[in-house]
Chain A
Amino acid sequence: MIYAEHLRKEFKKVVKDPGLKGSFKSLFKPKKEIVVAADDVSFHVPKGEMLGFIGPNGAGKSTVIKMLTGILTPTSGQCRINGKNPQTDRKKYVREIGVVFGQRTQLWWDLPLRETYSVLKEIYEVDDDRFKKRMAFLNEVLDLEDFMSSPVRTLSLGQRMRADIAASMLHSPKVLFLDEPTIGLDVVVKDNIRKAIMKINKEEQTTVILTTHDISDIELLCDRIVMIDKGKNVYEGSLRQLKEKYGNIRELNFETAPGFSLTEDEFRSGLELGEDKMTVEKDKNIFKVRFDSTEMPVGEMLNYTLSHAKVKDISFKEADVEEIIRRLYKQGECENE
C-alpha cells in the first residue's frame, strides 16, 4: 500500500550570528549550511493498518509526512502509495488521501462550517447522493451538528479538529494522514477523536498514518510504530515487540518511614547493578528505582528493599511505552556519539 524507500530531504539553511548585527552580516555574506531533515527513511504500511509515526520534536516526522503527501519533493529516494508517486501523479494521487495538520486548518476560516463541506464536495467531485450519506456518517462519528452553521473562526479547538478530520474524510480517502490530531486538546475530546479515528479505520479499512507526542494515542490506536530521530529510522515494529524487547524494565516506588535516613548510594551499594541496569532517584523520602527485571527479579528486589529500608509504602509498576521510548531516544543519542 504505502512504500517509502530511502527518503532523504535536505534543506539549505542560512546560519546567522545572533542579534541584528549578525543578521546584517548574513545579508552580505551568507553562510549556508545543509540540514538533513530526513535521511534514508524507509518503511512499508499495508492496507488498513494504523501506523504511529513518532519521534522527538524536530526529528523529521513532519518532513516525511509532507513528502508522502506530495507537499515536499524528496532530495532523493521515492515513495509509492497505491502504486502512485505523490510528486509526479500529484493530482490523481491526492484524491485518494486525506490530510490533517493539527496546527493548521483547511477550513474556510470566515464562513460557516457547512460552506467548507459544500466547496470540498465540488473540488473532490463527490455526487449529491454520496455526499449526503457521507455527511451523515461523519456527523455520527464526529458529532458536527451543533456547530455546522457557526463560522469556523468561532469554533473551539476540539470542534475545529473534528471539523478538519471530517473535511479530510469527505471524499472517502484510502489513506488518512494525521499530523498531531490531538495536540492541545483536553482528555475528553482526545478520547472522542481517538474513537472516531478507530471507527473510520474499522468501517472503511482506511489506512491511517499518525504522528503524535501523546503516547496514549499510540497505545490505543496503532498496530505498529515507526520511530525516527534526527531524520533516521530508529525502530520499526509492533508495539508488542517493542515492549518485549525493551519492556522488562520495572519501576519500584517506595516511601521510607519518617526518621529513617537512606541515600541513593546507600541503597545502591548492596546491589551489583550498573547505571544502565538500574537508576535511582530520590525526592525527600520517596524513592523511584527503575531496574531491569531480567537481571534482578522483582521478588528479590522487594526482599532487598524491605530488608534495607524501613518502608512506609511500596509499589511496583510495569514500564509504560513512554519510558521505553525515552530509553530508545537515549540509546539513539549514545550511538550517535
Chain B
Amino acid sequence: MYTNLTPARAMLRLLGRHRGLWLLAALATVATVFLGYLTPILLSETIDCILSGHPSTLPAWLLDALRSLGATRAWVTEHLWFLAAALIAISVLNGAFSYIRGRCTALASENIAKDLRETLYSHLQRLPFAWHVKAETGDLIQRCTSDVDTLRRFLAAQVLEIVNALLMVAVALTVMLQRSARLTLYSLILVPALFFFAMWFFRKVRKHFRISDEAEAKMSAVLQENLSGVRVVRAFGQQRREEEKFETVSEDFRGKTLHLTNLLSVYWGGGDFLSMLQSAITLLVCVVLAVRGEITVGTLVLFTSYVSQLLWPIRQLGRTLSDSGKSLVAMERIQDILNAPVEPEEPDALKPDLSGDIVFDHVTFAYPDDGVPVLQDVSFTIPAGKTAAVLGATGSGKSTLVYLLQRLYEPTEGRITIGGVDLRRIDRSWLRSHVGLIMQEPFLYSRTIRENVGIVLRQPEEERIRRAADIASASGFIARADKGYDTVIGERGVTLSGGQKQRIAIARTLLKDNQILIFDDSLSAVDTETDAHIRAALRREAGHLTTLIISHRVTTLSQADLILVLEKGRITDQGTHAELAARPGLYQRINSIQTGLEEEFHRQEPGEVNA
C-alpha cells in the first residue's frame, strides 16, 4: 500500500485516507483562529466606541447587520448585557470548534496509526521464513512501535499546530495592519527572534536529549545485570563494589539529566524574556502613540492581547519545525519493512491429499546469501503411513530438510513430491496446515498453557486440549503448575524447562489436522523414558500418519521403518535398523552405545567397590 513511494508522498497518502476528517479539523482550526481574535476586538470596541465615544472600526457590513438587529450604539450603551452575551457566545462557539478540531484530529490520526499498525503486522506475518531468520527483532519492534508513534504524533498535533500558527500570524497581521502599520512593526519586532531562538535551541539541544537517554540506558543495563546476576554478586560478596558501580552510572545519569534541565532553563528563560520584552515594547509604544492621539485605548488593548496570543504558538512552531524531520525518517524506516516482498500468492495452487508417499528427488539446497549447498543430491522415499528417522550430525542439514517439507524454503535443484504432486504446486497454507512440524526450540506464546495448546484453533474444545496434553506427556507437569491449564507461560508467568516447552509444542501440533508429522529433534530435552512414553502414545494416536523424526537416540531411530543417515548434506546410508546395524558407519556407532554401557558395568564389578 505504501511501498515504493518517497516518504513524503507516503505520508500524504496516509493523510489522504481520512481526508474528510482532516478537512473538518482544518476548517475548525480556521474557525478557532478567527473566533480567538474576536474577543479582543469586542473589548477594544467596547472601550473605544461604547465607553469613549470614538467611531467604530468594525467593517461596514457588520455594523449594518447589527443596526438592522436594533443593536445600535445607543441601544448597546443602554443594554450592556449585550456585550456580555456576545463575549459568551464567542467563547462557547470557540470552544465548540476547538472540540471539533480535537476530536477530528484524534479520530483521523488514531485511525491512520491503526491502519499503519495493522498493515505492518499483517505484512510481517506474510514475509517469508528466510526474511525472519535474518531479521533483527529489537529494531523491528522499535519501528513498529515508536516510529509509528512519531508519525502519529506528527499527524495528530504537529501538522495542525503548524497550520494554526501560520494562520494566526496571517490573521493578526491583517487586523493589526489595518489599525497601524508602525505599531504592527513594533509589536512583532521580536517575533522572528523568538521563532528562530526556539528552532535553534531545540536543534542544539537534541544531542543532549540523546546523551541523557543513553546515560539512562547504561544505568538500566547495570541494574539489570546486577539483578539477574544477584546470586553471583552474593556468592562473591561483591555487594559493595556493585553499589559503587551503580552509584557511578546513576550519578552520571543524574548529572546529564540535570545538565539538560539547566539547558532547558535557558530556553524557558530566554523565550520568556523575549516574550515579555515584546509585550513591554508593545505597551510602551502604544502608550506613546496614544498620548500623541495616534491610536485609541481600544487599539492598545487589541494589540497587547493579540501579541500575547501570538507569542506562544510562535515558540511552539519553532520547536515543532525543528523536529519535523523525525517523522520523515520514521516513515522511511516503516517503508523499509513494507518494501520487503511477501510470500507470493499462488491462485492456481493445488490442495491435494497429503497422505501419499513423500519423495525427495535429487534435492539440492543452498541458502541464497552464500550459495554454499546445505543439502546435496538428496533422494529418498518415505512410503505413505510409514515412519522415517533421520540420524545426522550437527550441521548436516537436518533442519533444512524439514523446512523444505513445509515450503519454508524451496529446493534449489531437484524436486519434492507428496503423493506424486510437486510441492511447488501445493498451496503453502494447505501444506503447512497438514504437515505438523515441531521444532527443537519451539516458540511459545506469553499466554496460558491452555491457550498455547489450543493456539491453532479458533475455539478449541477443552477435551481436545487435555487429550493432546496427555499424549504429549504434559498433563503431569501442567497439573502441578500453580494454576494448572491457566498458568501463564513466559516473562509474566512461569518459565518452563526445555523439555516442558517441547511437550507443549507437541501437544499444540496435535490439534492440527495433520497428515504428516515431523519432529525436528523435538524430544531432545525430555528424558529417555518420557521420550519413549510420548512415542508410544503417538503410535497409538497418530500411527497411521507419515512421520519423519530427527533424533540421536538409538531407541527412537531403531523403531523407524526407514532410517536415513545424513552427513554433510548428503544421504550416506539408508535402510532398516537391522541393515544399518550390520554395516559400519554412523548408525552402527550409535547402536553400539548399548554394548558400551554393558562393558562399563563389567569394569565395575563389585570387587572394585570394595577396593
Are A and B part of the same complex?
no
